[in-house]
Amino acid sequence: MNVELSFISGPKNVFSLFRQSRKFSAKASVMIAIDRLFGTPKHLVPSFYDHDDTGYDGKPDSGSRDVAPHLRIHHTVHVQVIKYLSGSGLKPMTNKLMENIAKTMLSSGIGGVWLEMEDLFDFCKLKLLHASINSMFGEYLTALHPDFVDDYWKFDDCTTTLVKGFPSFMVPRSWAARRKCLDSLKHWKAYVEKLVDADGRTFYEGLDPHFGSQFIRQRHEGFNKMEPMNADSIASEDLAIMWAANSNAIPAAYWFLYEIFRDPELLGRVRSEVDGARTNAHEPDAPPRFDLEALIKSPLLQSIYAETLRLQTAILIARMPAREDYQLGDYSFKKDRLLVAASYIAHHDTKVWNQGTVDDPHPLNQFWAERFLLKTGSDHSGPLLQSYLDSAMEDSAVQPEVKYSTDGLAGAWVPYGGGQSLCPGRHYAKQEMLMTFAIMSTCFDIEILQEPGEVTLPDLGYFGLGVLPPKNIPEGFGG
Ligand code: HEM
């Protein structure tokens, strides 16, 4: 509502937004999100978040305001997400996540007898969110507020309404759903801070016994030092990172499962890769554990992962020319005008993507597990249309072999955005998707009860916000 956008399309144009990311600010979408989605106290949006124009880098952007180092909110948050969501900083959290998902599956009450379940997505939402919150935020939040997982998904259902910026008297249910989550987070923070005080504010390597992870502990340490921040704005930050970490990754993990389990031939191939990566096969009754490196190296699993995100991600990646007008080819965009690249458009570009052959077609609105596999001796494999590949790769010698390939996809496969704001949670998301499938396919046999040719479609009502959830078909309409 009341925001003018210019859409940028075509891989070269989209990539130029990422390549020249220092000319742009991604702050505009952050402002919309913290204000409209996460309910940050109104007065802090202009006076604190918008006031800080110093950017993400260690050195404040030239010409920016004089902001005290500990009040550089965007830089502080950025440094922490990079530190704790990649490399060795991430490992303790992903190991904990694997343990939690495996435990929650084994204690789900599903045993050796077939049972019919109404909705696989609901099952994933409840089980995965519980496991994920307990890995990142520790166990006190869901212990103090046993309804939190339900409350979170009620809030998530309202995000399409909240992002439009309607006032509370017009959409009171949406505001109330958010309020409930924020109140629980406020109460949790106060409780956990008392435990940290009682523990002499000791720091622990890897996981934190009170805040769950070093990631969340360090965020709170940073927020506590920022004078303008208060309990309400910190709760909004918690809700924001929880949303970033779960509202895309959990629907993506669901689609990954759905596409494999509805194709028995594919399931057979993938299961043998999963079995090979299990590290505790000698303990058949224990929660399964996997070598994540081995899972991540599987070309087929990687291709399924990339194709899942290609098909189901509909995110609007927003940038604003920060200090001067921006020239893109023949077009000039005014400073402070919002430019947007839509991943869904990029991912369905028939001028770019390989759609198979006349005899073996794979249209872009359908899942193709092998779209990202490049095979020796096949002119028709890999993600790209041959004619596009020839022009995109003119400067480099392509060595075809059997492998997972994203070569030449700059600006074309963009589920995680790009440039300086490239999603820092992408490693965590990939590991979560792969480990969820590995654990669930080891713990359970799943049969998707659909007629041949019947397909679950994404809910385009969520267009723009990220990975689309499956569309809920009303009873009596099949599905
Ligand atoms: C399939 C899952 C995910 C998708 C599709 C996704 C997508 C995105 C996109 C498109 C952006 C904006 C990038 C840009 O503006 O160029 C973003 C930013 C971000 N994502 Fe993700 N994300 C996913 C999972 C995660 C996870 C699991 C986490 C955390 C654990 C996370 C944390 C973040 C954060 C903190 C940012 C803001 C980065 C910044 O502005 O510095 N994301 N994500």
Residue with CA at minimum distance from ligand 1 atom 6:
416
* Structure token digits, residue 399: 């060595």
CA 87, 309, 150: angle at the middle one, nearest 5? 85
Stretch (H or E) spanning 6: strand 5-8
- Residue 79 lies inside a defined structural domain of this protein: yes
* Structure token digits, residue 268: 């057979």
Residue with CA at minimum distance from ligand 1 atom 25:
425
CA-CA-CA-CA torsion for 148, 150, 152, 153, nearest 10 degrees?
Answer: 170
* Probe residue for ligand 1, chosen from 80, 86, 416 as the CB with the greatest number of ligand atoms within 8 Å: 416
Is the CB of residue 468 below 6 angstroms from any atom belonging to ligand 1? Answer: no
Give the residue numbers spanning the domain of 150: 53-58+69-315+423-479
Query: Is 443 within any annotated ligand binding site?
Result: no
Stretch (H or E) spanning 25: strand 24-25
Is the CB of residue 14 below 6 angstroms from any atom belonging to ligand 1? Answer: no
* Probe residue for ligand 1, chosen from 423, 435, 462, 465 as the CB with the greatest number of ligand atoms within 8 Å: 423
Among 270, 262, 261, 246, residue whose Cα is nearest residue 469: 246
Residue with CA at minimum distance from ligand 1 atom 40:
421
pLDDT at 1: 58
Q: Taking phi first (over 0 means left), then psi (-120 to 50 degrees means alpha), and beta for anything else, what does residue 461 get?
A: alpha
Stretch (H or E) spanning 259: helix 249-261
Is the CB of residue 342 below 6 angstroms from any atom belonging to ligand 1? Answer: no
Quote the ligand 1 centre to 244 CA distance (angstroms). 6
Quote the ligand 1 centre to 463 CA distance (angstroms). 16
Quote the ligand 1 centre to 464 CA distance (angstroms). 13
Is the CB of residue 55 below 6 angstroms from any atom belonging to ligand 1? Answer: no
- Residue 328 lies inside a defined structural domain of this protein: no
3-state secondary structure 4-33: CEEEECCHHHHHHHHHCHHHEECHHHHHHH
- CATH number of the domain residue 126 falls in: 1.10.630.10
Is the CB of residue 248 below 6 angstroms from any atom belonging to ligand 1? Answer: yes
- Contact status, residue 243 vs residue 38, Cβ threshold 8 Å: yes
Among 356, 43, 18, residue whose Cα is nearest residue 229: 43
pLDDT at 478: 32
- Contact status, residue 465 vs residue 163, Cβ threshold 8 Å: yes
- Residue 374 lies inside a defined structural domain of this protein: no
How far apart (Å, rounded) are the C-alpha atoms in residues 397 and 187?
A: 58
How far apart (Å, rounded) are the C-alpha atoms in residues 394 and 444?
A: 47
How far apart (Å, rounded) are the C-alpha atoms in residues 241 and 141?
A: 15
- Contact status, residue 145 vs residue 155, Cβ threshold 8 Å: no
Quote the ligand 1 centre to 362 CA distance (angstroms). 29
Is the CB of residue 429 below 6 angstroms from any atom belonging to ligand 1? Answer: yes
- Residue 212 lies inside a defined structural domain of this protein: yes
- Contact status, residue 341 vs residue 7, Cβ threshold 8 Å: yes
- Residue 266 lies inside a defined structural domain of this protein: yes
pLDDT at 477: 37
Residue 76 CB contacts under 8 Å (≥ 6 apart), including other chains: 70, 222
Quote the ligand 1 centre to 442 CA distance (angstroms). 29
Where helices occur in 335-462 by DSSP H, the ranges are: 343-347, 386-392, 426-443
Amino acid found at 447:
E
Residue with CA at minimum distance from ligand 1 atom 16:
417
- Residue 46 lies inside a defined structural domain of this protein: no
Q: In the chain, how many domains are there?
A: 1
- Residue 345 lies inside a defined structural domain of this protein: no
Instruction: Locate the ligand 1 atom nearest the alpha carbon of residue 429 and give its number.
Output: 27
Cα torsion 253, 254, 260, 264: sign: positive
Instruction: Locate the ligand 1 atom nearest the alpha carbon of residue 136 and give its number.
Output: 30
Tell the residue number behind the tokens 């995965």, with chain if given: 128
Residue with CA at minimum distance from ligand 1 atom 17:
423
Is the CB of residue 313 below 6 angstroms from any atom belonging to ligand 1? Answer: yes
Instruction: Locate the ligand 1 atom nearest the alpha carbon of residue 30 and give its number.
Output: 40
Question: Along the chain (479 residues), what's the average pLDDT of each consecutive run of 10 residues?
Answer: 84 93 82 94 94 91 91 95 91 96 94 91 97 98 98 96 93 97 98 97 94 96 96 98 97 98 95 94 91 94 98 94 88 90 97 95 97 82 78 56 88 94 95 97 94 91 93 51
> CA 330 → CA 238, 326, 327, distances in Å?
42, 11, 7
- Residue 382 lies inside a defined structural domain of this protein: no
How far apart (Å, rounded) are the C-alpha atoms in residues 371 and 362?
A: 8
